[in-house]
Amino acid sequence: MQGFRQIYGDNRIEDKVHAMLKAKYGALSVNDVSFEVREFRRKHPIKYAVGRIKDSLSRKVGYEPINPWAFLSATAETEWLSEKSNPSSRLFASFPRYRGQESTVVNVINERLAHPLVNDYVAEGIAANKLLQYLLLKKTEVADNLIPSVPVGMGITDELQLEAILSSCNHVVVKPILGLQGLGFKLLESADARAKYQGSRAPVNDIPITMALKDQGFRKYQVVYVEDFVKMNDFGFEMGVSILQPFIESQPSTKEDSLFSSIRAIVCNGRFIDAYKRVGSEPRVNFSQGAKAMAFEKDPDIMSLCEKVVEVLEREANATNTSTFAQSLYNGYFSDRGFTLPKQRAKDHAAMLLQFVLSLTSSQS
């Protein structure tokens, strides 16, 4: 909504959307992290108290928390960790926080709750992940409107799909599959992307084995590819995966300058509401990175396309099993790409086990 406030100087679009939601869903609340914290505190008061004490002590001594295993892998896409963002502090500020009260919930922190959600749990989870969006929609009637995409990082890449994209354009964009307000965005020449990513399909690294010996039990992690973590319902790897797409040249936003631009549209209750352009002097046109909003002349074709995409996404999400939607989409990708052959798995596992044993020997000496 920040862009509309820049253009109109008021909250007219936000107020309109909120009124439409209230008319359809009645009392509304926002599920941020506070409900989850309160429930954990109620069910595990001792663990909660110990956690608070640890956090307080960590802040006093300047202790850096241990990163998730995905951040530790040499194959991860984690450049965004060193970048900074300036996010908007306003987040559905006109709605009360969800505390378990009777209401329909805006599921910012996506959880299954006792009360109905504005956006379906599966649709919300898929909308927050660029790769899952692509995998869900690429075989639907809106597939022709999608930008060709391939994941990179954590050894997940489909080499044939990657080469098809790199051969079709001079520049590509690479960005984390999870929304990070423009952090981690890279614009690369196709030749540089080929040098970096071609041949990158591989095991995740030795991190899973070392962690498995400590936390999970060695036998669980005898195979070391992303597809194995999906099988175990462990999606920590997503923090280290980016999506690579052809760079789409945007038209000059004004006669005076050639600014980069992208369109942002609002669809509520199945209806197109409004849209604007985000423009900036850099390809990364995020408000948190200094971009500005400009008015966008409404195009009937774009309006109907926006409504159609939302309709198809919600339809496909509703048809997906709520407990295994991410596994199903990832396994469909692995099936199309090809699962890792047992012979290759055995070879990689032996090499990584040897590496781990050598590291133990080195540390003891």
- pLDDT at residue 222 above 70? no
Amino acid 217: pLDDT: 45
Would the pLDDT of 213 be above 50?
no
> What residue type is assigned to position 345 of the chain?
R
Q: What is the DSSP letter of 153?
A: S
Q: How far does CA 268 lie from the centroid of its chain?
A: 22
Residue in the structure block whose two tokens are 């000059």 = 252
User: From CA 106, how far away is CA 123, in angstroms rounded?
Assistant: 12
For residue 42, tell me if it sits in a domain: no
The band of 208, judged by pLDDT with boundaries at 50, 70 and 90, is: very low
Sequence-separated (6 or more) residues with CB below 8 Å from residue 114: 100
Rounded Cα distance between 35 and 114, Å, is 12
Alpha-carbon distance 232 to 210, whole Å? 17
Residues 293 and 3: beta-carbon distance below 8 Å: yes
Does residue 50 fall inside a structural domain? no
Is residue 262 in a domain?
yes
- Cα distances (Å, whole numbers) of residue 216 to 222, 351, 355: 11, 20, 19
Per-residue pLDDT tens digits for 289-316? 778 999 988 889 999 999 999 999 999 9
Residue 240, judged by CB atoms within 10 A of its CB (0-12, 13-18, 19+), counts as buried
Percent over 70 (pLDDT), the chain? 84
56 located within any domain? no
Range of the domain at 195: 2-30+66-364
The stretch 103-124 carries a mean pLDDT of 91
What's the pLDDT tens digit per position in 225-279? 888 889 888 888 899 999 999 998 776 555 545 678 888 999 999 999 999 999 8
State both tokens at 60: 């006093």
Please give the Cα distance from 126 to 348 (Å, whole number). 32
Kindly state the average pLDDT of the residues 52-66: 67
| Residue 118 pLDDT > 60 | yes
What beta strand segments (E) does 282-365 contain?
Answer: 292-295
Mean pLDDT of the 155-177 span: 95
Does the pLDDT of residue 347 top 60, yes or no?
yes
Q: Identify the band that residue 37 occupies on the pLDDT scale cut at 50, 70 and 90.
A: confident
Does residue 18 lie in a domain region?
Answer: yes
Residue 87 has pLDDT above 80, yes or no: no
> Please, which pLDDT band fits residue 203 given cuts at 50, 70 and 90?
confident
Higher-pLDDT residue of 344 and 220 is: 344
- Tell whether 241 is covered by a domain: yes
348 in a structural domain? yes
When divided into structural domains, the chain yields a total of 1
308 part of a folded domain: yes
The torsion angles phi and psi of 7, rounded to 5 degrees, stand at: -75, -50
Reported as a single tens digit per residue, the pLDDT across 16-35 is 999 999 999 999 999 988 88
Structure tokens at 121: 């749990």
- Judged against a pLDDT cut of 90, whether residue 68 lies above it is answered with no
135, 316 contact by CB (below 8 A): no
DSSP codes of every residue in 221-275: GSS-SHHHHHHTT--GGGGG-EEEEEPPPPPPSSSS---EEEEEEEEETTEEEEE
**In the predicted model, is pLDDT for residue 129 greater than 50?**
yes
pLDDT at 90: 58
Instruction: Decide if pLDDT at 330 tops 90.
Output: yes
Compute CA 104 distance to the chain's CA centroid, rounded to the nearest angstrom. Answer: 24
Q: DSSP of 54-120, one letter per residue? A: HHHHHHHHTPPPPPPHHHH-TTS--GGGG------S-SSTTSPBPSS-SSEEE-SS----SS-BSS-
pLDDT at residue number 328? 94
Determine which helix (DSSP H) or strand (DSSP E) holds 277, and give its type and residue range: strand 271-280
pLDDT for 218 equals 43
Is the pLDDT at 41 greater than 50, yes or no?
yes
pLDDT, mean of residues 320-333: 92
